[in-house]
A = this chain, B = another copy of it.
Amino acid sequence: MSSTTEKTKQVITSSELLEHWQGHRALTRKVIEAFPDEALFNHSIGGMRPFAAMVMEFLAIAGPGIKQIVTGETEKLEENIDHANDKKKVLELWDKTTEVINEYWAKIPEEKFHDTILTFGEYEGTVWSSIFYFIDNEIHHRGQGYVYLRSLGIEPPYFWER
């Protein structure tokens, strides 16, 4: 057991939470890459959405979600993002959101994480619980993407690869 410093006398710091999320997002990026081009946009099990549609949900939530935490303005949940059925385009959108998250995250002071917010004008919570929801929702649906890949006979990336 290493000793703790005064600075880290809390469960998790803001910069650790950002790194944690971007680590998960790096894994999701690998899952997108692992899909064959067509399957990303049309493979489905049990009437569920293709993985690309889940990814559009992640993008609709992540950037605008962090923005509204910083600005206090209501963002629309807009999942209808033009990806042109093109994996390269999906990955470009992904990388742009990575930058948006980093840019706006730097503007959230640690004392703001317990403020109450209404994300997308609809979902009430604290800043921390909203961000945890964004992350958990991505892990949840990405896990579904793993089943899609397995059902296609493709080995998904290791879960601990970030």
Contacts and interface: CB of A to CB of B under 8 A. Distances in A.
Interface of A: 1-5, 8-14, 16-17, 20, 24, 45-48, 72, 110-117, 128-129, 132-133, 136-137, 139-144, 146-153, 159-160
Nearest to A7: B114
15 contacts: A1-B116, A2-B114, A2-B116, A4-B111, A4-B115, A9-B111, A10-B11, A20-B132, A24-B136, A46-B147, A48-B147, A140-B142, A143-B143, A143-B144, A147-B148
Contact of A2 (B5, B115, B136, B152): B115
Contact of A143 (B72, B114, B142): B142
Contacts of A116: 1-2
Contact of A17 (B3, B4, B11, B142): B11
